[in-house]
């Protein structure tokens, strides 16, 4: 069953002299129990998409879509209150910087307890206080925090980024959401904590069938933790399909470059060998190239690429490129 079905999501920023299109007709579907990856370089529009889904972009942004259906209901066409209620109940978001999202003036335990809805406490109202305390402690254990007393009594600044991130995850899972949007949830953490956090997310996915939209710039994370992947470049989707298909046979030159930049995906690299990546950087939204947005950086670009390529499909694997890679002679893209 589809939980979230987004068609042609466009996010624009009107300025005094031009309309900046930061996200351009992006479509994606998240099924129940699926871990979907959204990968792309910094500045490609990943966080804007996450924020548009949960409706927290400020009014300067214009968000439009043919549809943004949550379990059959179009979020963009619902009254604001109703939309907030659905998102508050069913969707949690984990941001990149936990210390910014936690309230610096309140103890962590109080913040965590507040995030537990009454509806999931199996207790009468006079027993709720105790039940809430126990639930909060249980949530901390679940995310790998053993010394719950110290953490509950601390203010965010007294804890490391890793512990704060675990607390954010505990808050995100407190309401048993149907979908967790994890926006670079481990970007500033060291490797052991990072692995722990992904294991928590994966076990929720397996035990509670929670769907996860995992946002990252790192293909290694995508390869380990996701079922399907969407590749975003400069606000547009360029490739989409099963993660295993994309890793073994990427169609788009950009995806290929992202995969090749992970050292152990291809043959062993020689000592101090330069990583193969694309030249240049992602263009600014004010100065986008004509036609394919990857054109100026693409090693395969040809004259035809001045016309923007459309998303085309081969079985369940889609790509937006005039000259896809890894096709055998017999294979065609339709």
Ligand X SMILES: Nc1ncnc2c1ncn2[C@@H]1O[C@H](COP(=O)(O)OP(=O)(O)O)[C@@H](O)[C@H]1O
Window contacting ligand X (CB under 6 A); options: 25-33, 39-47, 67-75, 192-200: 39-47
Here's the x/- map for ligand X, 269-298, by CB under 6 A: it reads as: ----------------x-------------
Window contacting ligand SF4 (CB under 6 A); options: 86-94, 96-104, 175-183, 301-309: 301-309
Least distance CB 240 / ligand SF4 (angstroms): 15
For residue 45, what are its two tokens? 């529009």
Long-range contacts of 300-308 (CB under 8 A, 24+ apart): 300/253, 300/325
Provide the β-strand partners of residue 237.
232
CA distance 312 to 318: 5
86: left (phi over 0), alpha (psi -120 to 50) or beta: alpha
For residue 208, what are its two tokens? 């509670």
Sequence-distant (≥ 6) Cβ neighbours of residue 194 within 8 angstroms: 186
Window contacting ligand SF4 (CB under 6 A); options: 4-12, 63-71, 190-198, 290-298: 290-298
What backbone phi and psi angles, to 5 degrees, belong to 24?
A: -120, 105
Binder among 7, 71, 323, 333 for ligand SF4 (CB under 6 A): 323
Binder among 3, 28, 44, 47 for Mg ion (CB under 5 A): 47
Answer yes or no whether residue 257 interacts with ligand SF4 by CB under 6 A. no
What backbone phi and psi angles, to 5 degrees, belong to 252?
A: -95, 135
**Is the Cβ of residue 47 or residue 318 nearer to Mg ion in the bound state?**
47
Binders of ligand X among 45-84, rule CB under 6 A? Answer: 45-48
Binder among 22, 169, 237, 258 for ligand X (CB under 6 A): 22
Answer yes or no whether residue 236 interacts with ligand X by CB under 6 A. no
**Is the Cβ of residue 46 or residue 166 nearer to ligand X in the bound state?**
46
CB 46 within 8 A of CB 218: no
For residue 27, what are its two tokens? 């479509």
Residues that bind Mg ion (CB under 5 A): 47
């Amino acid at each position: 069953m589809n939980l979230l079905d987004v068609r042609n999501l466009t996010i624009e920023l009107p300025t005094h002299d031009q309309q900046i299109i930061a996200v351009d007709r992006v479509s994606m579907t998240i099924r129940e129990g699926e871990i979907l990856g959204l990968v792309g370089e910094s500045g490609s529009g990943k966080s804007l998409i996450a924020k548009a889904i949960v409706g927290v972009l400020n009014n300067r942004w214009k968000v439009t879509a043919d549809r943004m259906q949550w379990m059959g209901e179009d979020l963009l066409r619902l009254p604001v209150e109703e939309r907030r209620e659905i998102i508050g109940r069913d969707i949690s978001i984990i941001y990149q910087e936990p210390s910014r999202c936690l309230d610096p003036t309140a103890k962590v335990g109080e913040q965590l307890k507040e995030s537990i809805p009454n509806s999931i406490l199996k207790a009468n109202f006079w027993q709720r206080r105790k039940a809430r305390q126990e639930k909060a402690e249980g949530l901390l254990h679940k995310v790998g925090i053993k010394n719950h007393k110290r953490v509950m009594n601390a203010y965010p600044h007294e804890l490391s980024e890793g512990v704060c991130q675990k607390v954010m995850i505990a808050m995100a899972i407190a309401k048993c959401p149907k979908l967790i949007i994890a926006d670079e949830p481990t970007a500033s953490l060291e490797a052991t904590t990072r692995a722990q956090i992904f294991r928590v997310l994966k076990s929720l996915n397996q035990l509670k069938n929670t769907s996860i939209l995992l946002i990252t710039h790192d293909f290694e994370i995508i390869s380990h933790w996701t079922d399907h992947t969407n590749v975003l470049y400069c606000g547009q989707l360029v490739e989409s399909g099963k993660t295993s298909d994309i890793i073994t046979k990427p169609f788009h030159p950009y995806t290929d470059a992202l995969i090749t930049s992970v050292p152990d995906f291809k043959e062993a690299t020689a000592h101090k060998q330069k990583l193969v990546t694309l030249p240049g950087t992602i263009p600014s939204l004010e100065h986008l190239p004509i036609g394919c947005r990857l054109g100026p950086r693409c090693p395969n670009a040809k004259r035809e690429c001045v016309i923007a390529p459309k998303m085309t499909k081969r079985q369940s694997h889609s790509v937006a490129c005039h000259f896809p890679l890894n096709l055998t002679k017999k294979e065609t893209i339709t």
